[in-house]
């Protein structure tokens, strides 16, 4: 009986846009976060930070805010330096640049991406 009442209450709620629709529309973000006077500042270049909708981005943002607690190995520093050298190098075309960066990322994560 309680489940049926809950179902009926949920069915009466207005449909909400998907998270991707919300992230791409400052108007929908404002509606979600309080209408004309949202409690979160929406004036950044891209609106609401995607981190509030994505756990991985939220964890990254938290860790970047506390860099003194992040432990980095020598190998990670070497990989970062290798990536920077690769990213700023000159290539004959965009495809060669993308392949070089993709190879580095694939090596870092230990498998080939798409």
Q: 69: exposed, middle or buried (C-beta count within 10 Å: 0-12, 13-18, 19+)? A: exposed
- Euclidean distance between CA atoms 111 and 114, whole angstroms: 10
| ∠ Cα 74 76 81 (to 5°) | 95
Which pLDDT tens digit goes with each residue over 56-112? 877 887 888 888 888 889 988 998 898 888 888 888 888 998 888 898 888 888 888
Reference 80, options 72, 92, 91; nearest CA is 72
Token pair belonging to 98? 């993308």
Q: 110: exposed, middle or buried (C-beta count within 10 Å: 0-12, 13-18, 19+)? A: exposed
Question: pTM for the complete prediction?
Answer: 0.42
Reference 46, options 65, 25, 19; nearest CA is 25
Which pLDDT tens digit goes with each residue over 10-21? 666 666 677 777
């Amino acid at each position: 009986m309680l489940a049926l009442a809950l179902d009926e209450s949920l069915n009466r709620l207005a449909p909400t846009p998907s998270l991707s629709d919300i992230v791409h529309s400052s108007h929908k973000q404002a509606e979600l976060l309080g209408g004309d006077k949202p409690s979160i500042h929406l004036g950044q270049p891209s609106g609401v930070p995607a981190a509030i909708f994505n756990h991985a981005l939220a964890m990254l943002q938290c860790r970047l805010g506390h860099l003194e607690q992040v432990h980095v190995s020598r190998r990670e520093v070497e990989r970062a330096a290798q990536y920077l050298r690769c990213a700023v190098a000159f290539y004959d075309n965009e495809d060669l640049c993308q392949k070089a960066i993709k190879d580095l990322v694939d090596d870092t994560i230990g498998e080939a991406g798409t």
